[in-house]
Amino acid sequence: MISKQPTGSTKSPLEGVVVADFSRVLAAPLTTMMLGDLGADVIKIERPGKGDETRSWGPPFTGDGQSAYYLATNRNKKSITLDLNDEDQCAQARSIALSSDVVIENFRADTMQGFGLDYDSLKTDNPGLVYCRVSGFGNKLGRDLPGYDFMAQALSGLMSITGDPAGSPMKTGVAIVDVVTGLHATIGILAALFERQRTQLGQMIEVNLFSSALASLANQASSYLAAGVVPTRMSNQHPNIAPYETFATATTAIVITVGTDDQFRQLCIVLGVEHLAEDARWSTNADRVLNRDGLIEELEAMLSARPCDHWLNELRKHDVPCAPVNDIQQAFVLAEQLGLDAVQELLREDGSGISTVSNPIDFSRTPVSYRLAPPDLGADTDRVLEWLSSIGGATSPEK
């Protein structure tokens, strides 16, 4: 049976919602993990023998051979293996979809139609179904383009504004377009579930990497659309604020993020160059952006004379926003020091444990739950089929 496991005496926000997850890799699996964290029962439907591609993406792997990549987005799910090319198993997959509140998939265009698992094929028997399709470039002229984060970063212009001006365009250090797309898909699904409470009707949601990448450009996109300015790579500088970048010190780099004129004056006081704040070239943020190069030379000449830790201490005393450049290990140490509970330890069925990054949403009354470690391939096949049998593989399930 598909178990509903409340956290203590308090239910999670999506408890009772069933999600049929036909997705793989990152964007859509991140979506279903978010829904699972919020209490939904997520059934991950995978190919026999192979499963989600990320199961083999590595190293690194855990000691028992689990891909760290796969573990990143697959907690709070149950795994069932079904061969959709097999008529009986495809029928089981259809029954799961028809018994679910949400279906999500990210196959190539028309793949799900071939199995009778597309929205149009399911909505008649399950009019309340919320169906989310995640693609690379939408369902029109880009429908046949492969959906890879790296391609979306390149084609959207994101890489053109990332990296050193004298170097090559760079992708970000994580598949950020996949992540943003997964969050957009989550928002769309939650909105559709909320709207369904009024109408009792589901709907089709489409989210694509390219549109998500364009939306993520934020102020950079607005610079082009509102002012005709095509942004370029500026290393760690901010196109609209100065000084807002990394600076060399006598030891390691420091990040200084001055967002107001008062903060700039305080920075100048700490560095012993108060006259810079009175200079007409730099007295306002707009002036500092237009005359950035000379200002940066002045500031770095002072910052390079002392260690990073010295400047961190002095700048913080004067409420000037600043930070060291941490590696990921240092970031998790800091999270612990700040009491953010950024890591969750999950027990697997064999008694071993894995560490995963906490969901960042903190509810006051209906908390996020961490019920299930990322499942082994097909680990819950019998359990899911037993649940399906218990409801008769209904084509019009009660919600």
- 8-state DSSP, 351: S
pLDDT of residue 63: 83
CA dist 164 and 233 (Å) reads: 6
Start-end of CATH 3.30.1540.10 domains in the chain: 254-324
pLDDT, position 84: 95
Which residues touch 304 (CB under 8 Å, ≥6 apart)?
A: 247, 248, 249, 250
Residue type, 241: I
The residues pairing with 81 across neighbouring beta strands, listed in sequence order, are 46
pLDDT of residue 394: 47
Tell me the one-letter amino acid at 323.
Answer: A
DSSP 67-130: BHHHHTT--SEEEEE--TTSHHHHHHHHHHHHT-SEEEE-PSTTHHHHTT-SHHHHTTT-TT-E
Among the CATH numbers 3.20.20.120, 3.40.50.10540, 3.30.1330.20, 3.40.50.720, which is that of 18-217+340-390? 3.40.50.10540
Dihedral-angle region of residue 67 (phi above 0 means left; psi in -120 to 50 means alpha; beta otherwise): beta
Can you give the pLDDT at residue 10? 64
Tell me how far apart the alpha carbons of residues 148 and 161 are, in angstroms, rounded to a whole number.
19
**What's phi and psi for 178, nearest 5 deg?**
-60, -45
Q: Side-chain half-sphere of 143: how many Cα atoms within 13 Å?
A: 8
Reading the chain (399 residues) residue by residue, the pLDDT tens digits are: 343 334 444 688 999 999 999 999 999 999 999 999 999 999 999 999 999 999 999 999 988 888 999 999 999 999 999 999 999 999 999 999 999 999 999 999 899 999 999 999 999 999 999 999 999 998 899 888 888 999 999 999 999 999 999 999 999 999 999 999 999 999 999 999 999 999 999 999 999 999 999 999 999 999 999 999 999 999 999 999 999 999 999 999 999 999 999 999 999 999 999 999 999 999 999 999 999 999 999 999 999 999 999 999 999 999 999 999 999 999 999 999 999 999 999 988 778 889 999 999 999 999 999 999 999 999 999 999 999 888 875 433 333
Determine whether 178 is an active site residue.
yes
pLDDT score at 1:
32
- Alpha-carbon separation of residue 161 from 28, 180, 259 (angstroms): 26, 17, 21
Catalytic residue among 21, 41, 178, 380: 178
Q: Does the 254-324 domain belong in CATH 2.40.420.20?
A: no
Q: What does the pLDDT look like over 31-46, one tens digit per residue? A: 999 999 999 999 999 9
253-295 pLDDT tens trace: 999 999 999 999 999 999 999 999 999 999 999 999 999 999 9
Residue 220: predicted pLDDT: 95
Residues of the chain with CATH 3.40.50.10540: 18-217+340-390
CA 351, distance to chain mean position in Å, is 29
Q: Please give the DSSP secondary-structure letter assigned to residue 53.
A: G
